[in-house]
Amino acid sequence: MKTSLLVLVALLCAPLLSAQDQPAGDWKSASSNQAGHEYPKINAERRVMFRVEAPDAKSVNVSFHDTPPFTKGKDGAWYGTTAPLDEGFHYYTIKIDGGEMPDPNSRMYFGALRWGSAVEVPAHDEDFYALKNVPHGQLREIYFHSPSTNAEGHAFVYTPPGYDQHPEQRYPVLYLQHGWGENEYGWGQQGHTTEIMDNLIAAGKTQPFLVVMTYGMTNDTRFGHMQDFKIEPFETVLVKELIPYVDTQFRTLADQPHRAMAGLSMGGFETKTITLKHLETFSAIGLFSGGSIRPADITDLNAFKAKNKVVFISFGSREVEGGKTRRGDDPKADTAALQAAGINAHYYVSENTAHEWLSWRRDLQEFAPMLFKE
Amino acid sequence: MKTSLLVLVALLCAPLLSAQDQPAGDWKSASSNQAGHEYPKINAERRVMFRVEAPDAKSVNVSFHDTPPFTKGKDGAWYGTTAPLDEGFHYYTIKIDGGEMPDPNSRMYFGALRWGSAVEVPAHDEDFYALKNVPHGQLREIYFHSPSTNAEGHAFVYTPPGYDQHPEQRYPVLYLQHGWGENEYGWGQQGHTTEIMDNLIAAGKTQPFLVVMTYGMTNDTRFGHMQDFKIEPFETVLVKELIPYVDTQFRTLADQPHRAMAGLSMGGFETKTITLKHLETFSAIGLFSGGSIRPADITDLNAFKAKNKVVFISFGSREVEGGKTRRGDDPKADTAALQAAGINAHYYVSENTAHEWLSWRRDLQEFAPMLFKE
């Protein structure tokens, strides 16, 4: 009885407490924080609380919409709390007196065209991309000479557990692209490719395969328009330079049945364009929040059906509310049309996520087990 | 004649021009900048000019000493220029109204206990750590289960060019440690280990070997004193967990003659302590701005001489002005004493550098060719 009364009083008073006065137990440091940093913190409502030290600033805020201006706490630091956010990974900047700065409490991620801060709001299903005591693959940073760009190209290659112990074994390869404003670090860092693949393989849910992640040259459109993007320079790097390099440097199964391509957002556009042009190179296609494929997109349907094993089309649920994308496309209907045409097409919607990395981690988790089945 | 006059007028007027008015040709964007960012810029005097957008700020500066307060340029942004800096790699923060923030123009590096900004001042000998069109090794991110810390340990492993193409070949290993306030990313990022090793191997100046870089647990002294640091937890991870893991997962020559250890600053202290205790494990020792070894440090001189192949002791010249360290040690004399005792000891001074990464890159460049000679 006494306890119930205390609980009632606490519940009634809760809205009157400012965020930084709330019980510590309700707020947990974000996993995206720098080691040892308490803030940003997240509560059960998925509100994020920030702390910024800038004693002489006139105004402090964060780039999340609907966040009231920060206020100064008793310790002289500025505090502010967002409205509830979606589960998943969100880029942000701290605004100090009109300047947009990375939050010194956050680890740094490349997105929105810059290395800067982001916050990981815990997801109910975060276990699938958690680092666990399972056999681990390796994420390898490689450079490859690229005559077409007159530079040393940069990529990351995931090799599955046991790759070095089985020199007689050869592996299929997935080429996996980031989106516009991002780069080749994205899938290995915020994408958690290593953890997702290690966990899937440990659970026996997928064939082991290599994942190759390189820069999609998407950001060169920075000062132009997206529609001005030309696929040929990246297509040349990927098909003529990187794939031959990987097939030389790694023990790949270097043929069409054992090569897939997927990408998120603009990387999905790249995937669609390149795979439809290079049926002889890729046997599986994944578009993660990156458009869809209609039967009309396919020049020779019979050739496609003979060569393609999987088409995977997906969006975050917030991107297809009412079933349609903002551009008015209906990817579910497109997928059904592919299926009706005899193609092994799949449609997947990530629940309660938008155009961000939790959608794309789930896409990889769904797509990987469909690949390279005998 | 007319030209000479113009040059004379330009020379006379130069000191009157503010930094951002100086000819663009004299200022070059730093290689440590984020892609496409013009600032920070560096001139021939090795002054660094910063640009910060914070329209409503009262004061802006940078953490380099002797930098006058930033002033607002015609475009509303803040500009400031440092005094001439040493060649090499320097961490910094931008100060806005009393807050210390990462510079959004800089790539992010881990040092001084945080992911934050740094500037690379070009060195006259920068070619040895430049990325070139030579055969490339790989930098592999690995996780290893660590029972003693009840965690998945994190490390990077450099494998030399051709490692995957020669499955019959086995390789020696250098264990290479970062300093206090840094972590396992340092040697691969700002240390340029991959480029230094690739270039040395391409020039035939060193044996190919693996380089393993893990977290030295040095930052756990953050809230204590350096002298409270206990070596045993890291010694256990390194000797009992990581080395056996590497010897299982990679094609190493898993014996004392083919295993070396080196470290910078506090990593040098770790190297000295661990190698002197584990003569049966390591045959070569490198201390980079990390103390020295005297004959008196060695318990059994004959056993040491029988087992050790190389001792390498080094400092940046700014650290040993007048020949002595700030603590009053004389590492050159210590090295001479080791030599007199019959030990293959080497002393190296990096010219015109202090306690920073240009010293340590040069140390790796000098040390690597001494290792694993037949």
pLDDT in tens, A296-342: 999 999 999 999 999 999 999 999 999 999 999 999 999 999 999 99
pLDDT of residue A227: 73
What DSSP designation does A87 have?
S
Tell me if chain B has a CB within 8 Å of the CB of A307. Answer: no
Cβ pair B75, B81 in contact under 8 A? no
Instruction: Report pLDDT for B320.
Output: 97
* Inter-chain CB proximity A152 and B139 less than 8 Å: no
Chain B residues inside the 8 Å CB shell of A98: 53-57
Q: Which of B50, B58, B140 to mutate to test the interface with A (most CBs of A within 10 A)?
A: B140
Other beta carbons within 10 angstroms of residue B263's beta carbon come to 29
Distance CA(B197)–CA(B374), nearest Å, equals: 19
- Residue A117: beta bridge partners? A92, A108
Which tokens belong to B314? Answer: 């080094």
**Gap between the Cα atoms of B175 and A9, Å rounded:** 59
CB-based contacts of B50, cutoff 8 Å, min separation 6 = B39, B40, B62, B70, B78, B79, B80, B81, B94, B103, B105
Task: Return the closest-CA partner of residue B241 out of B146, B140, B141.
Answer: B146
Report whether the peptide linkage leading into residue B40 is cis, meaning its omega lies within 30 degrees of zero. yes
Q: What are the tens digits of pLDDT across the range B296-317? A: 999 999 999 999 999 999 999 9
Strand A99-101 to strand A78-81: parallel, antiparallel, or no bridges (unpaired)? unpaired
Alpha-carbon distance of B332 to B243, in angstroms, equals 32
Q: What pLDDT does B221 receive?
A: 67
What does the alpha-carbon distance between residue A362 and residue A370 come to, in Å, rounded to a whole number? 13
Residue A342 dihedral angles phi and psi, to the nearest 5°: 95, 20
pLDDT for position B229: 86
Residue A278 is encoded by which pair of tokens? 């290079």
How far does A168 lie from chain B, in Å, by closest CA?
10
Instruction: Copy the structure tokens of residue B184.
Output: 């396992």
A-B C-beta contacts closer than 8 Å:
138
Q: For B123-159, b where at least 16 C-beta lie within 10 A, e where not — what string? A: beebebbeeeebebbbbbbbbbbbeeeeebbbbbbbb
What percent of chain A lies above the pLDDT cut of 70? 92
- Residue type, position B36, single letter: G
Distance from C-alpha of B108 to C-alpha of B33, rounded to nearest angstrom: 9
Residue B34, SS3 per DSSP = coil
DSSP A212: E
Residues of chain A with pLDDT under 70: 1-25, 221-224
Decide if B374 touches A, using CB distance below 8 A: no
Residues in chain A closer than 8 A to B188 (CB atoms):
141
Q: CB under 8 Å to A147, separation ≥6 — which residues?
A: A241
Tell me whether A370 touches chain B (CB under 8 Å): no
- Please list, in sequence order, all residues whose beta carbon lies within 8 angstroms of the beta carbon of residue B204, skipping any fewer than 6 positions away: none
DSSP secondary structure of A320-344: SGGG--TTS--HHHHHHHHHHTT--
Q: Which domains can be identified in chain B, with CATH numbers? A: 2-122 (2.60.40.10), 128-370 (3.40.50.1820)
Question: B185: Cβ–Cβ under 8 A, 6 or more apart, which residues?
Answer: B109, B110, B156
* Cα(A260)–Cα(A210) distance, integer angstroms: 10
Q: Which residue of A has its CA nearest to B101?
A: A104
From CA A51, how far away is CA A56, in angstroms rounded? 15
Instruction: Return d(Cα B209, Cα B191) in angstroms, integer.
Output: 17
The pLDDT value given to residue B224: 64
Residue among B63, B107, B136 with most chain A CBs within 10 A, to mutate: B136
- In this complex, is the C-beta atom of B96 within 8 Å of any C-beta atom belonging to chain A? yes
Phi-psi region of B46 (alpha: psi -120 to 50; beta: other; left: phi over 0): left
Hey, which residues 53-72 in chain A have their CB within 8 Å of chain B?
Answer: 53-59
Instruction: Kindly write down the DSSP assignment for every residue of A264-315, as one continuous string.
Output: ETHHHHHHHHHHHH-TTT-SEEEEESS----GGG-S-HHHHHHH--EEEEEE
Residues of A in Cβ contact (< 8 Å) with B108: 102, 108, 115
Nearest to B36 among A93, A165, A222 (CB): A222
**Torsion from C-alpha of A85, A91, A94, A98, nearest 10 degrees:** -110
Residue A7 parent element (H or E): helix A2-13
pTM above 0.80, yes or no: yes
d(CA B45, CA B47): 5
Q: What residues of chain A, 152 to 191, have a C-beta less than 8 Å from chain B?
A: 152, 157, 164-165, 167, 188
Best CA proximity match to B281, nearest among B243, B250, B311, B326: B243
| Residue-by-residue pLDDT tens, chain B, 374 positions | 344 444 443 444 333 344 444 444 589 999 999 999 999 999 999 999 999 999 999 999 999 999 999 999 999 999 999 999 999 999 999 999 999 999 999 999 999 999 999 999 999 999 999 999 999 999 999 999 999 999 999 999 999 999 999 999 999 999 999 999 999 999 999 999 999 999 999 999 999 999 999 999 998 766 667 777 899 999 999 999 999 999 999 999 999 999 999 999 999 999 999 999 999 999 999 999 999 999 999 999 999 999 999 999 999 999 999 999 999 999 999 999 999 999 999 999 999 999 999 999 999 999 999 999 97
For chain B, say whether A101 makes contact (Cβ under 8 Å): yes
Residue of A nearest to B146 (CA): A133
Crossing angle for the helix pair B193-202 and B357-367, to the nearest 10 degrees: 30
- List helix spans (H) across chain B: 2-13, 193-202, 232-235, 243-249, 266-277, 301-307, 331-340, 357-367
Task: Give the chain A residue nearest B37 (alpha carbons).
Answer: A114
The pLDDT of residue B310 is 98
- Closest chain A residue by Cα to residue B54: A99
Asked whether the beta carbons of A52 and A68 are under 8 A apart, the reply is no
Question: Chain B contacts of A52, Cβ < 8 Å?
Answer: 99
CA atoms of B65 and A27, how far apart (whole Å) = 38
d(CA A171, CA A159): 9
Helix, strand, coil shares of chain A as percentages rounded to 5?
Answer: 30, 25, 45
A357-367 vs A193-202: helix crossing angle, rounded to 10: 30
